[in-house]
């Protein structure tokens, strides 16, 4: 029983890892962009995770973890910030390759403004709850930066499609984690509204996690393309 969280992590990454060698997507060739994106985002979210444990926002059921800890966090929770982002970036890239036409392009900016407005509203209603205020505060800052400061490359229409698809495995994985429960939430630190057993805030925790990973993934791809372009032109 104490291997449940570890097995969930393995299940999350198994198929994306195996299918990374698909000849059309060729995802393994993009690991040079995936690894730094996941690493940087992982550090940010691990600090966030540690803070939430200290603030009693959530805790981990000892009956479903192997008991190995680093800096006060279970091994499985650390792996979560590797397995879930990898799987989500894989979904993002597969959608872009197999379905290049994306009708969300004309709606993505409006969607971003909608989520920005929602974030402001949640900060107002949940100002006294740590999970709500940190979660939506982070999303507000990150989404504002991506849409209003980042003007070099646009990817949000592709992001929203990947986010919507990622909600399918999200409901399965988080459904198990919160129903068993492996992760136990303190409802005094969230809005107390759940979709099934999943706290409302978790949907936007996923959005922030996925958005930071994909932004950095696109950023490193863009930097690599720019350096390659400049190098090739210098050699001409």
Full domain range(s) for residue 81: 4-223
Q: Average of pLDDT values for 69-97?
A: 95
Identify the pLDDT of residue 92.
Answer: 97
Identify the pLDDT of residue 104.
Answer: 80
Report CA 140 to chain centroid distance, whole Å.
15
Q: How sure is the predictor about 95, in pLDDT bands with cuts at 50, 70 and 90?
A: very high
Asked whether residue 231 is domain-assigned, the answer is: no
pLDDT surpasses 70 at 9: yes
Identify the pLDDT of residue 230.
Answer: 58
Q: How sure is the predictor about 138, in pLDDT bands with cuts at 50, 70 and 90?
A: very high
Asked whether residue 98 is domain-assigned, the answer is: yes
Q: Average of pLDDT values for 142-167?
A: 92
Identify the pLDDT of residue 38.
Answer: 98
Asked whether residue 228 is domain-assigned, the answer is: no
Identify the pLDDT of residue 34.
Answer: 97
**Residues 5, 182 contacting (CB under 8 angstroms):** yes
Mean pLDDT of the chain: 93
Asked whether residue 115 is domain-assigned, the answer is: yes
3-state secondary structure of 159: helix
Q: How sure is the predictor about 190, in pLDDT bands with cuts at 50, 70 and 90?
A: very high
Asked whether residue 44 is domain-assigned, the answer is: yes
Asked whether residue 114 is domain-assigned, the answer is: yes
Q: Average of pLDDT values for 168-173?
A: 96
As a whole-number percent, the residues of the chain with pLDDT over 70 amount to 95
Q: Average of pLDDT values for 58-66?
A: 96
* CA–CA gap between residue 209 and residue 144 (Å, rounded): 15
**Residues 178, 198 contacting (CB under 8 angstroms):** yes
In DSSP terms, 20 is beta-bridged to none
Q: Average of pLDDT values for 70-95?
A: 96
pLDDT surpasses 70 at 232: no
Total number of domains in the chain: 1
Write out the DSSP string of 90-139. HHHHHHHHH----GGGGTHHHHHHHHHHHHHHHHHHTTT-HHHHHHHHHH
Asked whether residue 15 is domain-assigned, the answer is: yes
**Residues 224, 153 contacting (CB under 8 angstroms):** no
In DSSP terms, 69 is beta-bridged to 74
Asked whether residue 100 is domain-assigned, the answer is: yes
Can you list the pairs that 14-18 forms with residues at least 24 positions away whose Cβ atoms lie under 8 Å?
16/86, 16/87, 16/90, 16/91, 17/86
């Amino acid at each position: 029983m104490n291997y449940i969280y570890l097995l969930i992590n393995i299940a999350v990454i198994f198929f994306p890892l195996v299918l990374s060698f698909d000849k059309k997507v060729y995802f393994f060739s993009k690991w040079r962009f995936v690894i730094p994106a996941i690493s940087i985002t992982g550090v940010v979210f691990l600090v966030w995770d540690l803070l939430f444990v200290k603030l009693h926002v959530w805790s981990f059921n000892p009956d479903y973890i192997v008991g190995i800890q680093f800096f006060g966090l279970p091994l499985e929770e650390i792996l979560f910030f590797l397995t879930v982002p990898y799987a989500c970036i894989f979904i993002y890239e597969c959608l872009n390759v197999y379905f290049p036409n994306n009708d969300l392009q004309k709606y993505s900016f409006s969607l971003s403004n909608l989520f920005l407005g929602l974030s402001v509203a949640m900060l107002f209603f949940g100002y006294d709850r740590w999970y709500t205020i940190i979660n939506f505060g982070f999303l507000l800052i990150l989404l504002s930066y991506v849409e209003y400061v980042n003007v070099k490359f646009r990817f949000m229409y592709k992001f929203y499609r990947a986010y919507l698809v990622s909600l399918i495995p999200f409901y399965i994985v988080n459904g198990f984690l919160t129903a068993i429960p492996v992760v136990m939430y303190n409802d005094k630190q969230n809005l107390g509204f759940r979709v099934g057993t999943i706290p409302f805030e978790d949907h936007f925790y996923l959005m922030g996690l996925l958005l930071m990973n994909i932004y950095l993934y696109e950023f490193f791809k863009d930097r690599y393309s720019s350096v390659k372009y400049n190098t090739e032109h210098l050699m001409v």
